[in-house]
Amino acid sequence: MSLANGSTTESGRTAAQSTRAALVAALATVSGITPYPVVPDQATAGAAWPKWVQTTYDGPMCHLTRDTYEVLVTLPAAYVATTVDQGDAFRDSVVPALRRVGRVEFAEPVTITFGDKQAMPGLRFRLTI
C-alpha cells in the first residue's frame, strides 16, 4: 500500500516496491555489479543496492511528488589502485543505467560500514524519481 494515497500498482506491488525493483533491474544491466534489493548479508566488491532516503509531498492532498534514493556500490579494498580503477569504471557505467529510472543528482566516494563493523570503500549515487 502506498503511504501517499493507500493505492497499489496493478500488480499489487506498492509504488516503493516497484521503484526498488526498477532500480535493481537497472543495476543488473551493469557489468561487474551484483544487485540486491536491500543491503546484502555479506559485503563483496560489486554489490549494489538501493536505499530509500526521502519522499517529498506537495499540495493540499499530500500527493506524492518525488522519492529520493541512494544507490550504494561496494568497491574492492585490497589495493588502492584497483579500488580507484573500479570506482571510475562503475561511476561511468552505473549513472547511465540509473538514468533510465530517475534523475541522478550526484555520485561520490564513500566508506560503507556494515552491521558487523566491516567497512568497505564504495560509491554513493543520489537520484530522484
User: Across-strand partners of 125?
Assistant: 71, 107
- State how far the Cα of 33 lies from the Cα of 21, in Å rounded to an integer: 15
User: Across-strand partners of 58?
Assistant: 63
Q: Name the residue ranges covered by the structural domains of the chain.
A: 15-128
pLDDT of residue 3: 46
pLDDT of residue 62: 60
Q: What kind of architecture, by CATH, is found in domain 15-128?
A: 2-Layer Sandwich (3.30)
- pLDDT band at 5, cuts 50/70/90? very low
Grid-cell match 562503475, residue found: 90
- pLDDT tens, residue by residue, 103-128: 999 999 999 998 878 899 999 999 99
User: Across-strand partners of 128?
Assistant: 68, 103
Closest by CA to 33, choosing from 20, 49, 53, is: 49
- State how far the Cα of 97 lies from the Cα of 101, in Å rounded to an integer: 8
Q: What is the pTM of this model?
A: 0.84
Closest by CA to 73, choosing from 31, 101, 115, is: 31
- pLDDT tens, residue by residue, 24-66: 999 999 999 999 999 998 889 999 999 999 988 875 666 667 8
- State how far the Cα of 71 lies from the Cα of 101, in Å rounded to an integer: 12
Closest by CA to 76, choosing from 85, 64, 67, is: 85
- State how far the Cα of 94 lies from the Cα of 76, in Å rounded to an integer: 16
